[in-house]
Structure 1
């Protein structure tokens, strides 16, 4: 058998050379395009459905949200397992499909059932949503916003969180292979209207009156257009709130022909929702950061390289004294693993 192979190779030199060349080209192409990661992702084919309902206890979450979703998901074919977790203010249902079912097809089937069961769950209790197409190994890039020495008094935890949510997070979105940017730490900026009960009672004003006034006075409207000769003038009314003074000047009602403003019955200030944790780094106190989540099955090495390029551009957009400092980069771990394999083989 071996002699026949040698004899064939000698007679068909051109065929052997071309075959070898094609194999080399295919090997080089595979080497350049093959997804490389530090550890294998063994996550099964699953779709997660999350519903946030901040006011419900675990018992009500299970009865009013989790159970209806589980019943709806049990009607889907090619499902291997359905499991759920009901906690205070949170419902998480995991639907595990057979490996032969494509990811997008599985999500489409789940989405159809979500639309059906959404009518059974009161809107005020929360809206079921699917989690992004990622896994537990999708955290490929983690970073913090670092404040340069001398700028500590200029940027507090709330200001850094605002920079993260409105500048860094938005600029890092849209990278191929990235499905989500999660923010951590700091205080989520809110505009709070702290009403004074005695002032409301004395003026016979209810909380609903204040809420309705704030809602009506925070929107832009259009007034069509006016035609004059051969021109059309478009009418636009700007009523969006831009700062605390705008909120204070909103008229809630009239008493005896005198307008009652929000500032007469409440204190307007910046605030933040209650937190259940904080983010710290190197024992230097609280900080603000984010995590980039990778698409399931994407090439971690390529995605992190694109992230590094985008972060370099974001650095130029940040305010003076603030910079993005990564502390976990999957590509560094991948490169170290590759170096270890090469060293052991050689």
Structure 2
């Protein structure tokens, strides 16, 4: 095999594996990387490589994706092979027979997000299999978190050696990506749902396991809102229980402001906009700013939030916002085909 062909095979395997590991929705699964006019190489060797890096990988055996997703992926892949007129590798049939013999009634599963140019090669997240569980949407990753992670990776200088506070962090995708790629000085995850905080603590400890480079702080005599604190590389990581209506108290207790406030997909419930905007008023100074990513499921909802900001601007609170350019391409982990907009919110000098 020529070196160029070998490199093409590696690229194809990596491209499809990345989509599989984070559970890209089937209708958005792209089997045609690079030149869309080329015939997808369904050689037996490539089929085996893809199977071994997805369904049969050690990562998936230890931290499995939702069983129904694995079945759907392999069925779709075999269909693509058949449509191309190629022979299906025997190991694919064996793997599919094994999968369909298993139950898929699990309440939790894992997603894996491959990271480029980070201290982690992959972020593994434990999540609920349901979009809404235990009265919250925070137990699974959402598209806004993926897009915001990619945007932060394109703007490393805005986060490197900075103190960052994330609002409504959910299971932790954006924060762990920023810690791995941008190496902030401090990263504070915040949420207020007890089950979300418990799962978030699990995910942080899973991705930043304790060793000689890590330090888990003694939780005795720590503030009640602090749920976990550890050191990873040069980053101080904290998980705190923080309601938006308590942000003013939090700022007073800590005597310091974060350099950057971030949030992904928290602008979906207009009843919360008053407390969120008031919280931003207490967090924002002339020396910092907030970056919000919002999946636009309902234009009216986003408009209501922006009107809240306009109200504060007219109320002489000197808040302003501008829209940032979103990444051109990112993996799609939800079936809804909605754009993600990124806003930078700041105080005018």
Same fold (TM over 0.5): no
TM-score (norm 1): 0.24
Higher RCO, 1 vs 2 (CA within 8 Å, ≥6 residues apart): 1
State which structure, 1 or 2, has the greater radius of gyration over its C-alpha atoms.
Answer: 1
Q: TM-score, normalised by structure 2?
A: 0.24
The structure carrying a bigger strand percent of its residues is 1
